[in-house]
Homo-oligomer: A and B are copies of this chain.
Amino acid sequence: MAKLEYSLDQIDLQILRIMQDNARTNNADIARELGMAPSAILERVKKLEQKDVILQYNARINPAALDQKMLSFIFIKTQDIIGVQKVGLLLAEIPDVLEVHDIAGEDGYLIKVRTNDSAGLVDLMRNTLSKVEGIISTRTTIVLETVKEDNKLVIPTKE
């Protein structure tokens, strides 16, 4: 994972705000919007990438277009010793598992899973999750409809 703090000034924050909204925005466009030279922006963006402030540029794809209609959250209770994420790492390798969080309390992990339909979910639990060593039990929450899922961070105006 990413290391430490990196001091961001007001301009960096503005760049992040633009890039978070549209990762394909030109250097030139950013420069125009901020009233700076394109080269200066380029330099800053490269540094933000290099310092792991910008982790990646992703295209967010419509799950419906890929026929992935089903979204679920599964709480997973494990035998993992605290601080050792054996099960967590195994869960992270499963493609349909989009997120894996180590959570407080006895549950162990909370994972976010996308499948084609309910049959796909059953399939995942029967054929994949059941083969992961160290899982004691699971509790599944089905999502009926997603109201918001942009995962955009709040970028402060003043730091």
Q: Is A22 part of the contact surface with B, judged by Cβ < 8 Å?
A: yes
Q: A5-B65, A53-B65, A61-B54 are in contact. Are A101 and B143 (CB under 8 A)?
A: yes
Contacts of A6 in B (CB 8 A): 65
This protein's copies in its complex:
2
Question: What's the Cα separation between A57 and B23 when bound, in Å?
Answer: 5
Check if A153 sits within 8 Å of B59, measured CB to CB.
no
Question: What band does the interface of chain A fall in when counting residues whose beta carbon is under 8 Å from B?
Answer: 35 or more
Q: Is A129 part of the contact surface with B, judged by Cβ < 8 Å?
A: no
B-binding segment of A33-41, A91-99, A130-138:
A91-99
Check if A92 sits within 8 Å of B147, measured CB to CB.
yes
Contacts of A99 in B (CB 8 A): 146, 148-151
Central interface residue in A67, A92, A141, A155, by most chain B CB within 10 Å: A141
Dominant SS among interface residues on chain A? mixed
Q: Is A128 part of the contact surface with B, judged by Cβ < 8 Å?
A: no
**Interface pairs (13), CB distance under 8 Å:** A8-B66, A23-B24, A23-B58, A53-B65, A55-B61, A56-B59, A56-B60, A71-B101, A97-B148, A99-B151, A100-B148, A103-B143, A114-B153
Q: A54-B62, A99-B151, A109-B147 are in contact. List 15 more A-B contacts (CB 8 A).
A: A23-B23, A52-B62, A57-B57, A57-B60, A68-B153, A68-B154, A73-B103, A88-B147, A89-B147, A98-B153, A101-B145, A101-B146, A102-B143, A102-B144, A103-B141
